[in-house]
Amino acid sequence: MVSARVEVAGLDPWRLGGELWAADYRGTRSSRLPGLCFSGPNLIPLRGNASAMRSFADRALRRQRICSSLVGPAEQVLALWDELAPEWGPAREIRPDQPLMAMDGPPAIAADPLVRPVRPDELDRYLPAAISMFIEEVGVDPRAGDGGASYRARVAELIAGGRAFARFEGREVVFKAEIGALSRSVGQIQGVWVHPDRRGQGLGTAGTAAVVNRLVHGMGRTASLYVNSFNSPALAAYRRVGFHQVGRYATVLF
Strands 222-226, 172-182: pairing is unpaired
The 10s digit of each residue's pLDDT in 179-189 is 999 999 999 99
Q: Are residues 133 and 35 in the same domain?
A: no
The 10s digit of each residue's pLDDT in 192-250 is 999 999 999 999 999 999 999 999 999 999 999 999 999 999 999 999 999 999 999 99
In-domain check, residue 32: yes
In-domain check, residue 136: yes
Q: Are residues 214 and 140 in the same domain?
A: yes
In-domain check, residue 105: no
Strands 244-253, 186-194: pairing is unpaired
145 pLDDT band, cuts 50/70/90, is confident
Please answer whether residues 70 and 245 qualify as being in contact, where contact means their C-beta atoms are separated by less than 8 angstroms: no
Q: Are residues 77 and 151 in the same domain?
A: no
The structure's pTM equals: 0.90
| Cα pseudo-dihedral 205, 187, 95, 247, rounded to 10 | 90
Q: Indicate if the pLDDT at residue 61 is higher than 80.
A: yes
Q: Please give the pLDDT value at position 65.
A: 95
Q: Are residues 42 and 153 in the same domain?
A: no
Q: Is 120 helix (H, G, I), strand (E, B) or coil?
A: helix
Q: Is the C-alpha dihedral spanning 250, 247, 199, 164 positive or negative?
A: positive
Q: Are residues 77 and 186 in the same domain?
A: no
Find all residues with CB under 8 Å of 82, minimum gap 6, and list them. Answer: 53
Of 46, 75, 90, the residue that ends a domain is 90
Q: Where are the alpha helices (DSSP H) in the chain?
A: 2-9, 13-16, 50-60, 74-88, 123-138, 149-160, 203-213, 232-241
Q: Are residues 85 and 121 in the same domain?
A: no
Residue 71, strand partner residues = 251
Q: How far apart are CA 131 and CA 152, in angstroms?
A: 9
Q: Please give the pLDDT value at position 26.
A: 61
Q: How many CA atoms lie within 13 A of 152 on its CB side?
A: 12
Q: Please give the pLDDT value at position 23.
A: 87
Q: How far apart are CA 176 and CA 173, in angstroms?
A: 7
In-domain check, residue 97: no
Q: Is 142 helix (H, G, I), strand (E, B) or coil?
A: coil
Q: Please give the pLDDT value at position 24.
A: 72
The pLDDT > 70 percentage for the chain reads 97
Q: DSSP readout, 145-177?
A: TTTTHHHHHHHHHHHHTT-EEEEEETTEEEEEE
In-domain check, residue 195: yes
Q: Please give the pLDDT value at position 33.
A: 78
Average pLDDT of the chain, as a whole number: 94
Q: Indicate if the pLDDT at residue 44 is higher than 60.
A: yes
CATH number of residue 163's parent domain: 3.40.630.30
Please state which of the ranges 14-23, 31-40, 127-136, 208-217 shows the lowest mean pLDDT.
Answer: 31-40
For residue 25, the enclosing domain spans 2-90
Any idea what DSSP says for residue 242? Answer: T
Strands 164-169, 172-182: pairing is antiparallel
Q: How far apart are CA 230 and CA 235, in angstroms?
A: 9
Q: Are residues 193 and 71 in the same domain?
A: no
Q: How far apart are CA 112 and CA 115, in angstroms?
A: 6
Mean pLDDT, to the nearest integer, of 127-131?
A: 97
In-domain check, residue 100: no
In-domain check, residue 145: yes
29 pLDDT band, cuts 50/70/90, is low
Q: Indicate if the pLDDT at residue 28 is higher than 60.
A: no
Q: Are residues 13 and 50 in the same domain?
A: yes
In-domain check, residue 151: yes
Domain count, the chain: 2
Q: Are residues 76 and 125 in the same domain?
A: no
